[in-house]
Each structure stands twice: as structure tokens, then as C-alpha cells.
Amino acid sequence: MTLGNDWFTEIHADAGSAFSLKLTKKLHEEQSAFQRIEVFATEDYGNLMTIDGLYMVSGRDNFLYHEMMTHPVLFTHPAPKKVVIIGGGDCGTLREVLKHPGVEAAWQVEIDERVTRVSEQFFPELCERNNDPRAHLLFDDGIKFMKDAAPGSIDVVIVDSTDPVGPAEGLFTEAFFRACFRALGDKGVIVQQSESPLYHGKILKALHAAMRAAGFGQTQTLFFPQPVYPSGWWSCTMAGKNLDLKTFRETDARNKAFETVYYNADIHRAAWAMPEFFKRLLEG
């Protein structure tokens, strides 16, 4: 990360690339018990949150990530009622989950409470469902939460984590996915943010292997744009328990009773398309 001349630049040295946003003001800075949290006002991307010098969420493009992390997996499950979000401290994923009227309860398990409190201050639009009676905000270790969850008690797990380093490293392991497999009921589904297919192929290949080794019979990566993240091309990866990830409640998705900015049934179907290099990556 570099900060100078009113620009915030995140450098990806291994890929020989960088992404910059023009800033107008620093709004907040603190060191929590876990990480450094900063918020900036930008010229064209709304407010920007960074964690440990890396882009986390912007007001302009967060809908891409939050919608693709939630609606595909919720429309894949036949009738999701109990949802657990691991991470997701900015609360945008929680907001999207609770747009689904059939969801009875959603637990957001975020290890760093300060991410949520800062989001409530500077990204109130992402936190508008925090007082929904179905929402349960827990500030705890997500790995322990899933390990302690009752067998078969959860329909959908959404792992809205940071990169697989530091506190989030354990969320990309076979042991964690085994705990999720045990906690999920019949037809249960997990989705994990899975980095850039262009820059992080080794992480993605290892993620598929870990999910399958944990007992999931099928895995499926979905692709979507995300300008502020490395390469501008991002992904999430689903793993299913006793169900086909290439089917979804398409009629319900087409007739959804809520608004989205990006997601619709056609986007869902299109996100299954797998580039040739990615097929070779998983097969090799």
C-alpha cells in the first residue's frame, strides 16, 4: 500500500500491478485488537474502508461482492432458513441475506467488533438490517463457532473473510470445512470468498481440494467483477452437501421480491461458465 498525493494505491508486486483511488479526506483511523482500520472519502467511489493497508469495501462497487456472496447460494439451497455468516463485519452480506423472506435467523460471527462499529458509522447503508429481529451479531471466533455448532443445525454458511492470512488463514482449511460439513443439514451449502482467479490460482485449487476432502461431493466457483480487489476479477466458491450446484430455484430468482443492483437469474447462470485455463487448473 502507498498513500501519497491524495491517492491510495494497493500494489500487487507479484503480479506487477496496482490499483489506485483518488482520495478527498481521511475520515477515520484506528488500531483494533486485530488489525488497522482506516476509512477515506474518495472522489468517485464513495467511502472506502481499508484493513491493514488493503482495500476492503467501497461505497461504489460493494454490491457486486455482497450480492454474489449471498443470492446464488441462497437460491441454490431448496429452502434456506438458518444462515451463518463468518466474518462479514461490514454487514453488507447480512443485509443481502435478510432480503430473503424465508430466512428465519442469520448469525454474523465477526471476530473484530470494531469493523462493524466503524461500518455502522461510515457505511450505514450496509448496516440497515442490523436491527432486524432475525439478525444476531456475534463478535467471536468463527472457526470455534462452527466447531461448536450442533450437527445439522445450519442450512447455509457464508464465509465472508479477508485474504487467507492472519485471522482468516484458518478459514481456508480442510479442518474448518469438516466442521462446516458436520454443522450443515441435508442439502446444506457453504460459499467461501475465493480470491482472484487470475492472480490466486494456487489458493483456488487448494480450496476446492480442501472442500472435497472435508466431505463435500461437489464444488463450484462463480466469477464476477470487483474493481477494487486485485485484478478486478473476483470469485466465490460453493460446496454442496447432497445437492447439485448447477441447479437453483430459478423461478424464485426471476421473481424475487426484493431489488438488487447486479444479481439476477441470468447472472447466476452465467457465473457458472468456467474459463479454459481454470478448467485446466482444477484438472491439473
- How many beta carbons lie within 10 A of that of residue 70, not counting itself? 30
CA dihedral sign of residues 115, 134, 82, 139: positive
Name beta bridge partners: 7: 4, 22
Q: How far apart are CA 167 and CA 77, in angstroms?
A: 28
61 is catalytic: no
Q: In what order do the strands lie in the sheet with 154-160?
A: 135-138, 105-109, 82-87, 154-160, 184-193, 233-240, 218-225
Q: How far apart are CA 259 and CA 114, in angstroms?
A: 29
Of the residues 112, 160, 163, 186, which is catalytic?
Answer: 160
Q: How far apart are CA 48 and CA 130, in angstroms?
A: 20
Distance of CA 154 to the CA centre of its chain: 18
Coil, helix or strand at residue 278? helix
Q: How far apart are CA 136 and CA 267, in angstroms?
A: 30
Q: Which residues are catalytic?
A: 160
